Amino acid sequence: METTVVPIGQSLKAKNAAIARENRERFHAKRLLVLNVLSSPGAGKTALLERTLTDLLPRVRGGVIVGDLATDNDAQRLRRSGAPAVQITTGVLCHLEAAMVARACEQLDLDALDLLLIENVGNLVCPATYDLGEDIRVVLFSVTEGEDKPLKYPVVFKNADIVVISKIDMADAAAFEREMALANIRRIAPQATVFENSVRTGVGLQEWYDFLVSRARRHANG
């Protein structure tokens, strides 16, 4: 009897890719714009998503799926925006997978949404290679993390559609060198659109909102 050996990593990735395709077809059929938001822990994903959901209502009806190893703190925070939020806890797993997103969607009324934000587990490595079925992949890093993040985590940045530089109100306190950071992004992720903003002061949020509203409208019109 012949035995075919399939590398486990490859097989799991192929299964994830298949489920991600199903997710994507389902989201497109519902004319839903879906973002997969990645960053290291504490870069400000939840803060940006909470404020985005709040400020875009009622123009854009948003919902959110949020992944963490433990606690549902983030879903609780995100619900303060008035948007529905589903928490996924992954235990020791360092990324979300397409199947988890599919299951979480069962707890959401997708027909009542224009925009679905998926906040991934705080990690710049593992989530980079897992497609969830999103339209847009957003990678966020804060001015306090240093200008070299794109060089040191190239895989996640190479796959980004959007790079958000967050907490720009703290740029001076962090001695953040903006031009160097932008040059590093351009070098690793020339394909990415860059937004720079601060949830605390509101600086730069309007451009981000305009982009989301315009893309959500385009999706809604098929």
Residue the block writes with tokens 């399939």: 6
Residue the block writes with tokens 């973002």: 35
Distance separating alpha carbons of residues 172 and 181, to the nearest angstrom: 14
- Mark the segment that binds a copy of itself (CB under 8 A) among 14-22, 28-36, 170-178, 214-222: 170-178
Check residue 83 and report its DSSP letter.
S
Size of the site for a copy of itself (CB under 8 A): 37
Q: Confirm or reject binding of residue 123 to a copy of itself (CB under 8 A).
A: yes
- Mark the segment that binds a copy of itself (CB under 8 A) among 19-27, 48-56, 110-118, 123-131: 123-131
Interface pick for a copy of itself out of 11, 14, 17, 41 (rule CB under 8 A): 41
Distance separating alpha carbons of residues 191 and 213, to the nearest angstrom: 21
Q: Interaction with a copy of itself in 63-82: which residues (CB under 8 A)?
A: 68-71, 73
Q: Confirm or reject binding of residue 144 to a copy of itself (CB under 8 A).
A: yes
Q: Confirm or reject binding of residue 6 to a copy of itself (CB under 8 A).
A: no
Q: Confirm or reject binding of residue 148 to a copy of itself (CB under 8 A).
A: yes
- Mark the segment that binds a copy of itself (CB under 8 A) among 10-18, 23-31, 139-147, 207-215: 139-147
Which two tokens mark 186? 């351009």
Distance separating alpha carbons of residues 136 and 96, to the nearest angstrom: 15
Q: Confirm or reject binding of residue 219 to a copy of itself (CB under 8 A).
A: no
User: Are residues 123 and 94 in contact, defined by beta-carbon separation less than 8 angstroms?
Assistant: yes
- Mark the segment that binds a copy of itself (CB under 8 A) among 14-22, 52-60, 151-159, 206-214: 151-159
DSSP string for 102-163? HHHHTTS-GGG-SEEEEE--S-SSGGGG---S-SEEEEEEEGGG-TTHHHHSHHHHHT-SEE
Binding site for a copy of itself (CB under 8 A): 8, 40-43, 68-71, 73, 92, 94, 121-126, 128-129, 141-142, 144-146, 148-149, 151-155, 167, 169-170, 173-174
